[in-house]
Structure 1
Amino acid sequence: MRPTLPCQLRLRKTVWRIPPSKPSPRPTAPQEQTPLRAAFYRGGTSRAVILQPQDLPANHAKWRAIFRQVLGSVGLGEPYGRQLHRLAKGTASLGKICLVEPFHKTDEKDTAVPHVDYTFVSLDPKAGHVDVASNSGNMLSAIGPYAYNARLLPPDIYAIKDGDITVVIRNTNTMKLIESTFAVSGGQAAVTGKHSVDGVNGKGSSITLAFQDPLRTATRSHFPTGKLIDIIEGYKVTCMDGTVPVVFIRADAIGIPGTILPHELNEQRDKLIMLEKIRKTAAVAMGITDDEATVPRTIPKIAVVSQSAQHTTVSGATLKDSQVDIVVRFISDSEPHHAIPLTGALTTALAARMSGTVVDQVLAPEEVVEGVLTIAHPSGRLHVKLDYDRSKKPPRWVGSVSTTAQRLFAGKAYWTSSASEADTDVPSPADSARHSLGLAFVNELRFRESPEALVERLYRDQNASSS
């Protein structure tokens, strides 16, 4: 019998010579949350997340998924409809993103040089659809202050630490210019002040928005059907393309009181369905789209107008008929507005200047304030000033409103890797870095042409309309 001890020694020796195995490297886990520089601002009676597009992925096809994650959508994993882990609130008027960046000159025809480009993105809170068809006038209130606070403006502007400054903004959705004049204090956009906005608690520092040439933002004509009055679905309407395309209809024509409040109108779903049908039919008549199935969510808007009358606002305050020139109720995405879109208010003021429109028919015989249209909306009043500026070359209409804005927070929003599931039907042009990123995004979603071709077409359309 062989001895056992040497065998054990040999075994130990053999085992000892086997080098210890190195642990296999663990696969790197994808970053669960990707940070994104963001700010949250109230602008007028609305609010939005503001992003700088250079912080977003180079592949624009990923942007829509990121926007859906940041804002949330009831139809995308939100069965309770509360959006508890998102920044939106489940309503179309609050599902907004603003992209702000330094202005990029895209064409030698650009004679005016804005300070910043602003792209408005709207999110359908139910289906998650991303829309770039229109501008948001209320959120324009926040763009100048945000650009100033984010140090996106030319150095000479920051030489003014206290006082009023003017920031020129190009809205890439409409290719229109807006001058935003506001106060700065201590090197920041001022917030405190004495100006009040009906629909917003408290007072703030006044911001004046001057919309340059606020006409033809989606078509080639301010009356794209060629008529002051059209018969749409059996109703008399005025279809106007102003700061935003709007279909105006009289309240008495559809059998509702003009002073109806949003919660009351929401209870009349048959009226809202009918108004949506009128809106879509009018969109085709206006040339905004060729098919009712492809009508954008955000344009045209529909507005129900009526004569001034004493009524109660959503806050319980009473407005006398002598305090307003006209009563207006705007509807977007089949949701009655609790206040009024600033772009819609400006289009209302333009339609009021045109004799024979539906708006003109219900105007008070004398203005409450000379040279100003005083509009009653569900939360109170808004004053719109409209001037024809002959000092401009060429002469143009300029519409002005005063409002307020407030920074609510600035920091980081977060999106997860699931947002990298790209919307592959939207390609990103290789040369987009040479252009406004926001303009390129609008182009990709709406026109699918190069930025140069987009700018050329818009200039051609505007010149054709002016001639």
Structure 2
Amino acid sequence: MTQTGIPFVFMRGGTSRGPYFNRADLPADLDTLAEVLIAAVGSGHPLNIDGIGGGAAVTTKVAMLSRSEDDWADIDYFFAQVSVEDKLVDFKPTCGNILSGVGPAAIEMGLISPTGDSTDIKIRAVNTGAQVEATVATPGGHLTYEGDTAIASVPGTAAPVALKFMGVVGSATGQLLPTGNLRDTFDGIEVTCMDVAMPVVIARAEDFGLTGHESAEDLDANPDFFARMEAIRLQAGAAMGMGEVTKSVTPKFAFLAPAQNGGTIATRYFMPWKTHPSMAVTGAQCIASCALTPGSVSDGMLDRPSDSPANVVLEHASGTIEVLVDFTANNGFDLNAAGLVRTARKLADGQVYVPATIWSGHPDA
């Protein structure tokens, strides 16, 4: 046998897509696991021509699921970001869009049984320790992908997947403000370094000579901006206690501007070496938290809600995303929980094949 077949479910989760695996079907060793995922996705080519990736960071993501041994959770969700071209795998971050498909995928894999017209699934994000409650539509005890919910950047409508995020403050660094400051300055640019669901370095668009309403394509065609941004991100990563982050996708980067289309605030989010075509679920929670925090770089850009929960509408590169934030603001900002509604759809299932020289298929390898 020259190839090893690995069972998978191929899902769109939110505005991302990729293979969802049963963790038990993959090598336990992380170095071998990384090689398997690189081969499966086809990392190393801009089109991922020798794998099932889609040639973009939002289509080279991987979810690995297992029944949880945690007292709180039903399912453990282990995430991997595979690079498009560099043959790198980052196990540090998580992805909220891919998480949108975890509940349906767990049912598809037989890891969870539907419990009625809707099924609540408690998910532990292994990478960050975050706790997420997902509510999946299962009318009559059967999983469905059909519904009336629309999300930006995804055509048509589908069944809603409601997500409630808890325990996401300091998910990567242990602190809401990893540098200890509401604002820091790197290379003359003022930023707020915040860690809610995802560590993000957040700036003002105008400080880069931008409006904050540019398209993703226009920003990607601006190498001078990316060079400035990356220099700031590297310094901020060190200041946040994350070490040398040159080859890590975290911390992410975002900038803010006043809203133009009735939202709370406008933003662009970076992955970090390309502009996100829409918005990451994890990044949305961090940006919404920044918008609600007095003294952050968001000051002066919005009429800040004072009542909790607050519905924060982020205007992004292809539409809007709403984050329902349950918070306390007695002294600063304390996040209790954040809720979003996404959709997911099963696209395919079967086996993906990797060369047996990479992995022979023994699960304890």
Q: TM-score range by the shorter chain?
A: over 0.9
Which of the numbers 246, 259, 268 marks the counterpart of 1:308? 259
Q: What are the within-5 Å matches in structure 2 for residues 179-198 of structure 1?
A: 179-185=133-139, 187-198=141-152
Superposition RMSD on alpha carbons, in Å? Answer: 2.3
1:185, distance to aligned residue in structure 2 (A): 3.2
> 2:121 corresponds to which residue?
167
Which of the numbers 100, 111, 118 marks the counterpart of 1:152? 111
Which amino acid is 1:146 matched to? A
1:186, distance to aligned residue in structure 2 (A): 5.0
For 2:85 and 2:47, locate their aligned partners in 1 and report how far apart those are by CA, in whole Å: 11
Distance 1:197 1:182, change over 3 A: same
Task: Confirm whether residue 136 of structure 1 aligns to residue 95 of structure 2.
Answer: yes
> 2:26 corresponds to which residue?
56
For 2:74 and 2:311, locate their aligned partners in 1 and report how far apart those are by CA, in whole Å: 29
Q: Secondary structure at the match of 2:357?
A: helix
Distance 1:286 1:205, change over 3 A: same
Task: Confirm whether residue 121 of structure 1 aligns to residue 121 of structure 2.
Answer: no
Task: Confirm whether residue 73 of structure 1 aligns to residue 48 of structure 2.
Answer: no
Provide, for residues 137-192 of structure 1, a one-character-per-residue CA deviation record: whole Å limited to 9, x for no partner. Answer: 10110001111121102xxx54x3x4111100000100111000121135432211
Task: Confirm whether residue 210 of structure 1 aligns to residue 164 of structure 2.
Answer: yes
> 1:398 corresponds to which residue?
337
The answer to which of 237-246 and 187-196 deviates more is 187-196
Q: What are the within-5 Å matches in structure 2 for residues 86-97 of structure 1?
A: 86-97=51-62
**TM-score normalized by structure 1?**
0.73
Task: Confirm whether residue 381 of structure 1 aligns to residue 320 of structure 2.
Answer: yes
> 2:331 corresponds to which residue?
none
> 1:449 corresponds to which residue?
none
For 1:305 and 1:273, locate their aligned partners in 2 and report how far apart those are by CA, in whole Å: 18
Which of the numbers 292, 296, 309 marks the counterpart of 1:353? 292
Which amino acid is 1:270 matched to? D
More helix by share: 1
1:348, distance to aligned residue in structure 2 (A): 1.1
Provide, for residues 97-128 of structure 1, a one-character-per-residue CA deviation record: whole Å limited to 9, x for no partner. Answer: 110000024xxxxxx42001000001111211
**TM-score normalized by structure 2?**
0.92
Of structures 1 and 2, the larger Rg is shown by 1
Distance 1:231 1:117, change over 3 A: same
1:297, distance to aligned residue in structure 2 (A): 2.2
For 1:221 and 1:259, locate their aligned partners in 2 and report how far apart those are by CA, in whole Å: 30
Q: What are the within-5 Å matches in structure 2 for residues 7-46 of structure 1?
A: 31-46=1-16
Structure 2 residue ranges without an equivalent (≥5): 329-333
Q: Secondary structure at the match of 1:204?
A: coil
Distance 1:218 1:263, change over 3 A: same
More strand by share: 2
> 2:68 corresponds to which residue?
103
Number of residues paired by the alignment? 358
> 2:232 corresponds to which residue?
278
1:285, distance to aligned residue in structure 2 (A): 0.6
For 2:7 and 2:191, locate their aligned partners in 1 and report how far apart those are by CA, in whole Å: 44
Aligned 8 A contact 1:302 1:330 in 2? yes
1:381, distance to aligned residue in structure 2 (A): 0.6
Which amino acid is 1:104 matched to? E
